[in-house]
């Protein structure tokens, strides 16, 4: 069986397990139960394989086997395996048993898993129903997962299980409505943004609104290195933070540092009491977040809002200013997904935008097709900033209108491989392409009062084809003649019928 076939098999089995919760709780919630159980099954199957190998190596010496297990990547005690949960699947308190096992796994792996399972309650009456219904659902869930083979001998390298985990997150996002944007950025958008900021081997990479971590992981893969990079993220939602932590482990990125807090009010990625600095900063922050923390901006001890304080009901520029503050001076690169209003809204946002452009930090603006994102049909744009540009120079800004290059879907549009390639190659070449891209000088942007609305720079107007009036008139006359003949025939038939 090929790796792709194994991915598909595992995905399909897990997706069928979701039937246990469909119609009972919202997909944005039941994803936590499914993905947590997948993680536990994976850890348990790895332990099972490790024991087989160690028994061969140490010829059944239990003391040496236990000592070796205590030095493994994760410590899973005998009573905390998936097989143990499966054996107790018919117990009347199975929900509490699962909670207890998760707590013990956390305690045995505090450095890696502290608090990861604390936001998930398998004994929740509010989510899973009263005892009889809850027990029945959990029994079915355990039986569905028992069919999975996640041992290293079967799934091979980490990519298979990591890919399946991300496929599942994407599918949950597709059914989670407006809440989807809180935890997942479409893979094609993440891929495009990661390629535009071009992380290199050795880079320190951050996402201050990391969701479930897929954008960070794609940025890491762009380095072309197995592990010569460092990943940092911060996420406000507890259950999404937990998904991100598990996602990192399933992609063998154990050293990533993912914080759980509000990035604007309480940035935790700090060292020596100041904001950490990164080679690359990427994010898909919540669009136009209301109540983002304006009340603390004026006295922000990290001085992120010196260019201006964004309006209370629009937090887009708050995140951008944070990202710029955390990019390394003279070399840091920033890539962010934004709603189009960020490009042209006035007031304080307009003043901040003007300041950033005058500092020559903005490198490019790329308009994306509408309906790419889960939970919203509005079109978005990518903004690329580069702190290696000459400070306060009157540099140019590169505009791309990629809004018409996509594959149309029933519920959601999608960037195709050729669409992504065109965006990335055009960006790298910085070449003006008719009705697609334009390198705008500072003077033109200033003349437009620092409005970055893409149609001001990329003319996509398609003139109406010229109409041959004589030909159209001739066509009308021909149609009228045919219509007259048809009416004559109809009158004749009606008379024959006595009408």
Q: Which has more pLDDT, 354 or 165?
A: 354
Neighbours of 118 (CB within 10 A): 15
Confidence of residue 317 (pLDDT cuts 50, 70, 90): very high
Confidence of residue 450 (pLDDT cuts 50, 70, 90): very high
Q: Is the pLDDT of residue 460 over 80?
A: no
What pLDDT was estimated at residue 469? 80
Cβ contact 400:437 at 8 Å: yes
Q: Which has more pLDDT, 175 or 230?
A: 230
Contacts of 72 (CB under 8 A, 6+ apart): 47, 50
Can you tell me the mean pLDDT for 84-109?
97
Q: Which has more pLDDT, 374 or 367?
A: 367
% of the chain surpassing 90 pLDDT:
71
Contacts of 306 (CB under 8 A, 6+ apart): none
Express each pLDDT in 22-40 by its tens digit. Answer: 877 777 778 889 999 999 9
Helix (H, G, I), strand (E, B) or coil at 437: strand
Average pLDDT, the chain: 91
Can you tell me the mean pLDDT for 280-300?
95
What pLDDT was estimated at residue 481? 86
What pLDDT was estimated at residue 436? 96
Dig out the tokens for 488 from the structure. 């004559």
Q: Which has more pLDDT, 204 or 158?
A: 204
**What's the CA gap between 76 and 234, in Å, rounded?**
27
Can you tell me the mean pLDDT for 268-283?
97
Confidence of residue 20 (pLDDT cuts 50, 70, 90): confident
**What's the CA gap between 299 and 303, in Å, rounded?**
8
Bridge-based pairing of strands 204-207 and 230-235 is parallel
Closest CA to 42 of 14, 71, 12: 14
What pLDDT was estimated at residue 316? 97
What pLDDT was estimated at residue 456? 95
DSSP per-residue string spanning 27-76: HHHHHHHHHHHHHHHHHHHHHHHHHHHHHHHTTT-HHHHHHHHTTSSS--
What pLDDT was estimated at residue 454? 97
Q: Which has more pLDDT, 161 or 87?
A: 87
What pLDDT was estimated at residue 89? 96
């Amino acid at each position: 069986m090929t790796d792709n076939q194994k991915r598909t098999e595992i995905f399909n089995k897990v997706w069928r397990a979701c039937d246990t919760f469909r119609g009972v709780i919202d997909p944005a919630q039941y994803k936590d139960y499914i993905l947590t159980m997948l993680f536990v099954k994976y850890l348990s199957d790895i332990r099972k394989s490790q024991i087989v190998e160690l028994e061969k190596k140490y010829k059944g010496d239990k003391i040496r086997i236990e000592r070796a297990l205590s030095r493994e990547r994760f410590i899973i005690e005998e009573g905390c395996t998936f097989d143990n949960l499966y054996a107790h699947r018919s117990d009347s308190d199975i929900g509490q048993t699962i909670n207890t096992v998760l707590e013990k796994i956390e305690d045995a792996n505090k450095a890696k898993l502290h608090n990861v399972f604390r936001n998930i309650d398998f004994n929740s009456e509010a989510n899973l129903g009263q005892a009889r219904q809850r027990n029945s659902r959990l029994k079915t869930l355990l039986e569905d997962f028992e069919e999975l083979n996640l041992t290293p001998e079967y799934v091979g390298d980490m990519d298979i299980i990591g890919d399946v985990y991300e496929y599942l997150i994407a599918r949950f996002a597709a059914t989670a409505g407006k809440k989807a944007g809180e935890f997942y950025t479409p893979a094609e958008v993440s891929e495009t943004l990661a390629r535009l900021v071009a992380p290199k081997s050795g880079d320190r990479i951050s996402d201050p609104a990391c969701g479930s971590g897929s954008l960070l992981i794609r940025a890491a893969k762009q380095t072309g290195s197995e592990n010569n990079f460092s990943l940092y993220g911060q996420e406000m939602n507890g259950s999404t933070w937990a998904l991100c932590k598990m996602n990192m482990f399933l992609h063998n990125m154990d050293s990533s540092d993912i914080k759980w807090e509000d990035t604007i009010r309480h940035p935790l990625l700090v060292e020596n009491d100041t904001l950490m600095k990164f080679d690359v900063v990427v994010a898909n922050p919540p669009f136009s977040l209301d109540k983002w923390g304006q009340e603390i901006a004026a006295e922000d001890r990290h001085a992120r809002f010196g260019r201006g304080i964004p309006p209370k009901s629009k937090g887009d520029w708050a995140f951008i200013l944070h990202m710029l503050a955390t990019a390394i001076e003279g070399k840091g690169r920033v890539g962010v997904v934004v709603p189009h209003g960020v490009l042209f809204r006035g007031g304080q946002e307009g003043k901040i935008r003007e300041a950033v452009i005058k500092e020559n930090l903005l490198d490019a603006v790329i308009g994306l097709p509408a309906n790419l994102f889960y939970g919203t049909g509005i079109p978005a744009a990518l903004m690329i900033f580069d702190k290696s540009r000459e400070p306060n120079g009157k540099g140019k800004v590169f505009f791309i209108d990629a809004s018409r290059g996509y594959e149309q879907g029933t519920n959601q549009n999608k960037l195709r491989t050729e669409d992504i390639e065109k965006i990335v190659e055009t960006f790298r070449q910085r070449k003006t392409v008719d009705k697609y891209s334009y390198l705008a000088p500072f003077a033109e942007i200033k003349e437009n009062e620092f409005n970055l609305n893409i149609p001001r720079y990329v003319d996509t107007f398609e003139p109406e084809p010229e109409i041959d009036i004589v030909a159209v008139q001739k066509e009308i006359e021909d149609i009228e003649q045919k219509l007259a003949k048809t009416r004559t025939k109809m009158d004749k038939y009606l008379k024959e019928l006595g009408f």
